[in-house]
A and B are shown apart, each in its own frame.
Chain A
């Protein structure tokens, strides 16, 4: 009888658009966010589990609707004639809602993994327990929906539960007690007791199911299930209380490829080939003598390289971060890595400047080495003008002006340098000309006008050298 009831509820839930719409939303949302990002399995497992909580919210509401059905108008009388009572309906609801929730969450998880695998050279290690934790959390939401429906049979109850869990996750309250422990930052190596956390969440599922049934009296089986689940959950929480979640960065793995040395964190070794694809065209464009002292490509902890504002590095190494692109998203990463490498080779300043002038950027206009740097980087990907970074006084909402930030860092240049580098790339014999006058071209005192005859280029109109009118005051790059 209970099996038949559970199957009936399963069939009804499978036809409900709520769960499937939530699963579609979770997949669309996460797939859109990650489509152009190279997956790092260690973090993606956590983010995927977090995304499935959208399915969990829907499961909580759906389970609550299933449970509170017998309190709606006219249903109570109809149910009174049936051979089974509320406890049987409750256990059937727990089993059915958990089963369908697990199905929906698993489908969403597998679809997300499939979208993450498209055109991917993944880093890190996929922790299956993290994914299982997400699916278990969705089952917990379903069981909680049933328990709330039995103890607080008001449609507002699931909304309150979702609000409280959402707030707890957003502000980071609850820590390891939450069903899914979100990772806000980007640790180099994520190591946490994910297997035990799955046990903890499964214990909570049993506890919620038992709590739903305890509404109809403390029968031995229900009490035993609740006490056991509580003991397991408490035991796991105690056992994992002292375990560190983020292990400090391990020693980097370094690899020599051609003239360059690449160093990556453990798990990121497959990305060395991606970095090499961006940097090697720059290295090949250098005169042979200049290839002896190339900067190291050494990975740093942290996110997007484009938005990273480096401080001056003593060893002038080029520092790609823990992100890379795919499905077209790699173009910006390749362009930036090539530009940073070219900037390091040509001696352009590295980090933001903290001098007396207003802007962090330095002015690299009318320096021959800027043209050379853009020419070198242009062998990998077409370079672009610096972007205007708006400076807004945060708590007055007042716009102060703009700073120029290029792919080379806080190095500002104009359309003239970019245009000369494009002409140079298109000109046959440019490589020989650059190699021949290499030392002079890299001298910061050599102006573009002095370099033009050496490179066989014709001058452009002066209007090309103008910067935006609202650019803040910048010093010349040293």
Chain B
């Protein structure tokens, strides 16, 4: 734990924060447009779509946090790879959560009368973030270069597109207030440990 704490600052300096910064610069201002219409129905739709797409963009951007430009030279260092990558992942999760929380706060402040279920939407965002990180971590084991981070985005987009045509209770993207919201989000919570375990396994030492 002490080593991890000591590594925080040096690792934070080596991380390319540009993608996460760009995602924040895109999503937070867009959240200001929530509630631009008078009708609460379209406003809720816009808000939920924005929160979900933001989660995907932030997840994709967080994948870049795992890219270690010196991966080829850091094999023999005494701190194991799983710890270095774990600390990177934690930093990415913290920054991603912060950005998404900002988007959510802005959206909620713009739509005071519209109930946005934080727990359910946060569960969706958390799974997206963890899934993108897990995909990137797996790819980095074979291709330790920056474009590896795109794999997380591609997988997330693919999962989004593949699940969009599921109907009714089978759809993971139902709107707040629709019947089955609670049940669907219990499934989101139930699957949430899977990408986290996948991420931990993908971060293990190479040899």
List CB contacts (< 8 Å) of B50-64 with chain A: 50, 53, 56-57, 60-61, 64
A35 to chain B, nearest CB (A): 11
List CB contacts (< 8 Å) of A1-59 with chain B: 18, 21-22, 25-26, 28-29, 32-33, 54, 57-58
- Known A-B contacts A65-B147, A65-B150, A155-B149; the reply to A166 vs B53 at CB < 8 A is yes
Q: Flag if A171 contacts B46 (CB, 8 Å).
A: yes
CA distance A170 to B46 in the complex (A): 8
- Known A-B contacts A170-B49, A395-B114; the reply to A29 vs B165 at CB < 8 A is yes
Counting CB contacts under 8 A, is A164 at the interface?
A: yes
Most buried by B among A18, A158, A159, A160: A159
- Known A-B contacts A32-B165, A159-B60, A171-B46; the reply to A392 vs B177 at CB < 8 A is yes
- Known A-B contacts A29-B161, A32-B165, A397-B177; the reply to A159 vs B150 at CB < 8 A is yes
B126 to chain A, nearest CB (A): 19
- Known A-B contacts A154-B18, A155-B64, A170-B49; the reply to A163 vs B26 at CB < 8 A is yes
CA distance A26 to B157 in the complex (A): 12
Range, interface on chain A: 35 or more
Closest to A393 in B: B177
Q: Flag if B115 contacts A395 (CB, 8 Å).
A: yes
Most buried by B among A18, A33, A390, A395: A395
CA distance A61 to B155 in the complex (A): 12
In the bound complex, residues from chain A placing their C-beta under 8 Å from that of B146 are 72, 154-155
Counting CB contacts under 8 A, is A162 at the interface?
A: yes
Additional pairs, 14, CB under 8 Å, beyond known A72-B147, A155-B149: A18-B154, A21-B158, A29-B165, A33-B165, A54-B161, A72-B145, A154-B146, A159-B19, A167-B53, A170-B53, A392-B179, A395-B115, A395-B177, A397-B181
CA distance A25 to B113 in the complex (A): 38
CA distance A33 to B171 in the complex (A): 13
> 1/0 per residue B57-89: CB within 8 Å of A?
100110010000000000000000000000000
Task: Kindly list the 8 A-B residue pairs having the minimum CB-CB distance in the complex, ordered from nearest.
Answer: A156-B19, A163-B57, A29-B165, A32-B165, A155-B147, A394-B177, A159-B153, A155-B150
> 1/0 per residue B155-169: CB within 8 Å of A?
001100110110000
In the bound complex, residues from chain B placing their C-beta under 8 Å from that of A158 are 150
A residues near B, CB below 8 A?
18, 21-22, 25-26, 28-29, 32-33, 54, 57-58, 61, 65, 68, 72-73, 154-156, 158-160, 162-164, 166-167, 170-171, 390, 392, 394-395, 397
- Provide a sorted-by-A list of 15 A–B residue pairs whose CB atoms are within 8 angstroms: A21-B158, A28-B162, A29-B165, A54-B161, A57-B157, A61-B153, A155-B149, A155-B150, A159-B61, A159-B150, A160-B26, A167-B30, A167-B49, A170-B49, A392-B179
CA distance A72 to B72 in the complex (A): 14
Counting CB contacts under 8 A, is B22 at the interface?
A: yes
In the bound complex, residues from chain A placing their C-beta under 8 Å from that of B177 are 392, 394-395, 397
In the bound complex, residues from chain B placing their C-beta under 8 Å from that of A72 are 145-147
A287 to chain B, nearest CB (A): 42
CA distance A395 to B113 in the complex (A): 9
Our pick among A25, A61, A397 for the contact of B161 (Cβ within 8 Å) is A25
- Known A-B contacts A73-B145, A167-B30, A395-B177; the reply to A61 vs B158 at CB < 8 A is no
B191 to chain A, nearest CB (A): 21
CA distance A160 to B147 in the complex (A): 14
A164 to chain B, nearest CB (A): 7
A198 to chain B, nearest CB (A): 25
CA distance A394 to B117 in the complex (A): 13
In the bound complex, residues from chain A placing their C-beta under 8 Å from that of B149 are 155
CA distance A29 to B167 in the complex (A): 12
In the bound complex, residues from chain B placing their C-beta under 8 Å from that of A171 are 46, 49
> 1/0 per residue B74-115: CB within 8 Å of A?
000000000000000000000000000000000000000111
A174 to chain B, nearest CB (A): 14
CA distance A390 to B177 in the complex (A): 12
Closest to B20 in A: A156
CA distance A76 to B143 in the complex (A): 18
CA distance A21 to B161 in the complex (A): 12
In the bound complex, residues from chain A placing their C-beta under 8 Å from that of B53 are 163, 166-167, 170
In the bound complex, residues from chain A placing their C-beta under 8 Å from that of B60 are 156, 159
In the bound complex, residues from chain A placing their C-beta under 8 Å from that of B19 are 154, 156, 159
CA distance A186 to B25 in the complex (A): 36
Our pick among A25, A163, A397 for the contact of B158 (Cβ within 8 Å) is A25
In the bound complex, residues from chain B placing their C-beta under 8 Å from that of A163 are 26, 53, 56-57
In the bound complex, residues from chain A placing their C-beta under 8 Å from that of B57 are 159-160, 163
